[in-house]
Every structure is written in structure tokens, then in C-alpha cells.
Structure 1
């Protein structure tokens, strides 16, 4: 993830830069905006890849903009005895170069470039984006210099997992360091999936293949993306306690695991586990209501706290929202590529809203999930009843 710090008391100018980055779909770019030298000092305890600094800046918010405040901020950043971290690249902005007066040469010693940025024209914005593209390109070169990552993808039932190749192609635009492994098991029919014995038998067979892959690559950084039944397979695999290594990232999406399930065996083996939820995933709602042993953790989330090692994220859409190609950027370009290619921290997302009938719908799902064993065994009991009656 590229981190950009904009330090500018010109709100309109900051908004133009932020909007341009958003419009270009640069999902790997995180932008922080400050309007004074002192607020920037608070941010500069963290490392930024690019700082865009107004050379006429107030010391505090709503103060008088002066070149001296910007210059003292730069002095603090470059001072080895102070704890501020120097950004990898600093670009200066000013409405008029003559406004910086006696500080012109001093600023030029500290900046890669000072760009005239009058609001009468936005030509300066193009130059700013050239700097942003340069920082992105440098990061991509660094990332691509190593090839020690393993990307494992596991698809769901009633599909051949075409998204696995599409995801790999999206990642290849930013990094060629991943060795892809697409777990395939063919088309799994809905009837077999509905019967717990057949479902678990199939899952365990694939899970052992997955464990074999993990144990063959102990030296690699491992990343796993699993969708729907793939999350069930992954859970079965890691519950076997036959893999002692560590997984860098686990991304679960559309999971039919029960929301109250204990997934410590997944979370404890991963640096970060992300559970993606589609709030309109009615397929999982049906699974929880009617199928024994299944739930809707990919809709309502797992019942555990969000923290540094686990995050539930909620998005608008259904069971396959993660693979819609018509959106730009696509879901996986926005949420997954930064996680996988730069080890960025996950972006939090929660689109849930209360709606009319929510309580009734929730109660209905809970009641059906409680009585579903009876629904399964009713035909058997009825058959036995008539068998004994006839005898």
C-alpha cells in the first residue's frame, strides 16, 4: 500500500488531488490530509511514500500561512535527532513561486520539485499524478524482485472456479512473485452438498491435498483465498493439525460455515484472517435455514471480535459479489490485491443498515435452522411409522 500525505490548508486543492487518485481507481494508494504544520508532525511518526506539501502553511489550523512554518517542518523531518520519519519523496506546491521569497533555495534543497499550483488552472495536477505514478512504479519493482510467495485459491460448488485465473491475472499487473495453485475438484452437485456425509467426505479428500501442498512449501509465504465450499474445505484441512507452518493471509468469502463456529484453527495459523460477507447473500440464508451443519458466516460474519488477526467485512451484494467484472475497480482489485501484493493492513468495510422486517427475517431464519433436523428426518420417521403399522 502506497501512503500519501497531503499537507495543505487549501481544502479545494487537497480535494482535487484525492478525487483524482480515487477516479483513477488506485486502490493501492492511501491518502491522508492535514491542513497545518503541527497536524503534519503528528502524522509523520509513520513513514509515508510521498508528501505533497504547501510551502505557505499555517503552524496550526486556521493560522496564518507562512513559508517559515513549512520550512521548519522540513527541518524537523530532516533532523536525525527528532523522531519524525522523512517521506521517500517530497513535492512542494505553491500558488506563486515568488511567494516563498528568501526560502526558495532552501526549499529546493529539500524538495525533488516545487510545482506552481494556482487554482486558476489544474495543469499542476497532472504533474502531481506523474509523481504518484513514479512512486507506484518503484513499489512494483521492489515487490517483483522476489518470487517466494504461494497463492492458493479454492473455489465453491456448482462452479469451475474461473475467478481463480482472473484473480491471478489482476495480481500479475502488480507482482510476478506469486506461484499460483488453483485447487480444483470439478463440479460438485447440490444434492451431494446437502448430505453431511457426502459433503464431509468430499471436503476431507480435497483437504488432504491442500495439507500436502502446504507441507511441501514450508519456506514460502502462503496466501489463501477460498470461496463458499472452499472455506469449508480450508476449515477441515487446518482442523486436522497436520500443518505446523504459518499462513500470511487467509481470505474467506461467501462462507457457509456456521456463524458461531470456532475458527481458532484458522485464525491461529494465519497472520491475518479476513471474512468477507455479502449482506444480501440469500444462498447462505437458505443454507443456514435448511441444510444440516451449514450456516451463513459469509453473510452475518463469525461471532468473534475484530482485531489485528481477524476482521469481518460487510459488503453490498450476494454470493458472487466478489467476482463481478463490470465494476471498476473490481472487488478483488480494491480489497484483495493490496492485501496480497503489499501485505497492507485490511481496509475495514461495513455497509450494514437496519431495514423494515429485519427482526422477522432474522427470527424466521433462526427458527428454521433449529427445526431443520426434523425436516430431514420427517420422511424417515414417517416411513418407519407406516412400516410398523403395516406389520
Structure 2
């Protein structure tokens, strides 16, 4: 989403920019100017989804701020065929009562005028509603020819109820987006521990994906997976690519991943434009057990994948445990719904604090146990107990 903010109040402009980045608008997609002449130049050459307009503005830098300048800009946007008209125009003011005499003139061109005062939060729900409308509108317009397919893969010890909730949410905005939910039943932890059964499930998913690709030629895919589903999909995906299969994945989202933090993603270089997002829970304690006791798995859904982060490969850290992504629909709405727009932004999140001593020790013990086995874990545990007592 691209936003232009026209406001000569520096403190308010900074407040609004910080709020926009907090809801996922990238810094590079926010343009700020403080006069209508510069704004006119920019909107004649660039498309913006949202225009936030101070109702009282100077025409040029250092000029006197007048409400008539804002009206003149709005009329220019409305009448000129040179302007790339924004999807949404919202007026902002410090005190709505101060503009009562000319508010109706603004609302001829703006959907509404929102009072944004420093030190208050009443304006946030109003602007949030406007930004949500833009996102929904962009999704509803996206690929109405139906060339986007969403795929979901659930984790173990669940029937993947979140898959249906995500489907309902997305198709509520764009019912033409095809959804395919891969299910493999209530996979027991006992089976999860044995590599033979891991391999069996990877092969089954690989065959299912191969059939899916064949049935959807020329389509782009966006994939969501959780827990053991991330392991299944990552390995099946790699094998398909290595077999020469053309798998046009636009975005791959992993959540609560049981993959190792050192997992090799180099094979994805064969998939141009792939965005990989690894959603991590800062208190995902289940993944300690995965790292310590389950062969070929780890806790990338807690620590992130090692290596460089970029706009196309991002670890995002959130507060919560293994199922934080599905405690209600808000996480999916805030973080996954925006991925369905054209050229989605993937803002970085890192809500972690410093690890406390106990958590740090357990994390290191999990890594050592995974490498050297249960006996070493018991030795370290006894040593730690000895130190404490």
C-alpha cells in the first residue's frame, strides 16, 4: 500500500508515519510533504492508494497555511486527467470544530475528515477502518481471472480447523481465489518421531502437490503451513524443484516451524520472485522438544532461520506460543490477509525481549541434546541441579 501524507505539522506527521508502519505500511511506501505545490507534482506522477490531507495547508514552503489551498488541491485531483486519483482521500485536522464552516467543502471530495490530535488515540479506529477498506478493495480487485491458488498444510495433533477459518476470511474478500487445504489426519507425536513415517508423509504430500500443479497450469500459489506441516511442505517442495517441476509459488508462509534453523533454502533460487516468511513465537516451548528429541527437526519457528534477512526472506518474531497464529482470527487478518494484494509488503516484526537465564539454558540444552543425544542432556541437567543446590 502506498500513502502520501500532506501535513505541515511535523509532530503529527511523525505520529501518523509511526502508526502506519505499525500496521504494516513500509517506510518506503510512505511519502510526506508539507505543501500543496509539491503534493500536486507527486500525485501527477505517482499512484497512491491513500491520500491523508491536512485540511489547512500552505501552498508553498513558508507560505501561510489556508484551508482554501486544501480545497484547491482536491478540486485539481478531481478535475485533472493528469492525476492518478488515489483510492481513498481522508482529511485530517487537529480540531474538527475549527473547520465547521468549511468542512462540507472538504467532504465533497473526501469520504470523511478525521480529528487527529497529539496525545490522543480516538483517531486510530477511524483511520484503521479507512486503511482496512483499501486493503479489502485491493484484494477484491486482484486477479479476478482466478489465477491465484491458496494452499494450506496443518500441523500434527490437529485437524487444521484454522485452514477453514483462513479460507472463509480470504474468500469473504475475494471469492474467486481458489483454496486447497491439504489434510493428513490426526498425526500422532509417536509417529512424528520416526523418520520412516516422516518420509512417508513427505512422499504423500509430494504426489498431492504434483497433481495440484498439473490441475492448475499457469497459476500462482500462496502457501501457508504450520508446525509439522512446514517440515512436510519444505521437503516436498525441494524435491519437486529438484525433479524439474515448475512450481510457481508467489509466497510461502511458515508458522511454528519444526525445521532446523540451519535449513538449506538455496533450492528456492530456482523459483523467481518467491517471498518466504517465517512466523516465529517467542515462547514456543514445544519446539524445544522438537529440537531435542525428534530426528531431522528443529526450532526455526522459535529462533528463526539463520542467515540474511531481506524483503524476500524474512523471519518475523511475535509474542506467544506454538498456536499464537490461530488464537482467534486477528493474527491471520493482520499478517496474512495483506499477502493477497499485488506486490505485498512484508514488514519486519521482532517483539522478543531478552531470553531469561532458564529459557536460555533450556534452549542450549535442546540444541546439544539434538546433536549428542539424551545421555548428554541428562548429564547437563544433573550438573545444572547441582549448581542450583
TM range (shorter): 0.7 to 0.9
In structure 2, the CA distance between the partners of 1:355 and 1:119, relative to structure 1 (3 Å rule), is closer
Cα distance, 1:267 vs. partner? 6.0
Residues 125-170 of structure 1: per-residue CA shift (max 9 Å, x gap): 9998997677566535423733222111111111111111111011
| Equivalence for 2:256 | 254
In structure 2, the CA distance between the partners of 1:42 and 1:113, relative to structure 1 (3 Å rule), is closer
RMSD (Å) for aligned C-alpha atoms: 4.6
Q: TM-score by structure 1 length?
A: 0.74
Secondary structure in 1 matching 2:198: helix
Cα distance, 1:195 vs. partner? 1.3
| Equivalence for 1:112 | 109
Tell me how far apart the structure 2 counterparts of residues 304 and 290 of structure 1 sit (CA, whole Å): 24
Say if 1:144 and 1:175, in contact at 8 Å, map to a contact too. Answer: no
| Equivalence for 2:215 | 216
Map 1:143-158 onto structure 2 (within 5 A): 143=142, 145-158=144-157
Map 1:200-279 onto structure 2 (within 5 A): 200-240=199-239, 241-242=242-243, 243-266=245-268, 268-269=270-271, 271-279=274-282
Tell me how far apart the structure 2 counterparts of residues 127 and 252 of structure 1 sit (CA, whole Å): 32
Tell me how far apart the structure 1 counterparts of residues 114 and 88 of structure 2 sit (CA, whole Å): 18
In structure 2, the CA distance between the partners of 1:292 and 1:16, relative to structure 1 (3 Å rule), is closer
Say if 1:167 and 1:332, in contact at 8 Å, map to a contact too. Answer: yes
Q: Aligned pair 1:353/2:350, yes or no?
A: no
In structure 2, the CA distance between the partners of 1:63 and 1:180, relative to structure 1 (3 Å rule), is same
Tell me how far apart the structure 1 counterparts of residues 200 and 113 of structure 2 sit (CA, whole Å): 67
In structure 2, the CA distance between the partners of 1:43 and 1:194, relative to structure 1 (3 Å rule), is farther
Show structure 1 runs of 4+ deviating over 6 A: 11-22, 25-31, 59-63, 71-81, 97-100, 114-120, 123-134, 373-376
Tell me how far apart the structure 1 counterparts of residues 124 and 363 of structure 2 sit (CA, whole Å): 50
Residues 27-51 of structure 1: per-residue CA shift (max 9 Å, x gap): 8999958472288689867532231
Structure 1 stretches of 5 or more lacking a match?
377-391
| Equivalence for 1:310 | 313
Tell me how far apart the structure 1 counterparts of residues 173 and 198 of structure 2 sit (CA, whole Å): 37
Map 1:95-134 onto structure 2 (within 5 A): 95-96=98-99, 112-113=109-110
| Equivalence for 2:166 | 167
Say if 1:292 and 1:373, in contact at 8 Å, map to a contact too. Answer: no
Map 1:1-391 onto structure 2 (within 5 A): 1=1, 3-9=2-8, 34=32, 36-37=34-35, 47-58=47-58, 64-66=64-66, 70=70, 86-92=85-91, 95-96=98-99, 112-113=109-110, 135=134, 138-143=137-142, 145-240=144-239, 241-242=242-243, 243-266=245-268, 268-269=270-271, 271-325=274-328, 330-357=330-357, 359-372=360-373
In structure 2, the CA distance between the partners of 1:179 and 1:9, relative to structure 1 (3 Å rule), is same
Tell me how far apart the structure 2 counterparts of residues 132 and 290 of structure 1 sit (CA, whole Å): 45
Number of residue-to-residue matches in the alignment = 361
Tell me how far apart the structure 2 counterparts of residues 126 and 283 of structure 1 sit (CA, whole Å): 36
In structure 2, the CA distance between the partners of 1:117 and 1:304, relative to structure 1 (3 Å rule), is closer
Say if 2:291 and 2:366, in contact at 8 Å, map to a contact too. Answer: yes
| Equivalence for 1:379 | none
Tell me how far apart the structure 1 counterparts of residues 128 and 319 of structure 2 sit (CA, whole Å): 31
Q: TM-score by structure 2 length?
A: 0.74
Secondary structure in 1 matching 2:274: strand
Cα distance, 1:208 vs. partner? 2.0
Say if 2:288 and 2:299, in contact at 8 Å, map to a contact too. Answer: yes
Tell me how far apart the structure 2 counterparts of residues 171 and 135 of structure 1 sit (CA, whole Å): 15
Say if 1:96 and 1:118, in contact at 8 Å, map to a contact too. Answer: no
| Equivalence for 1:380 | none
| Equivalence for 1:388 | none
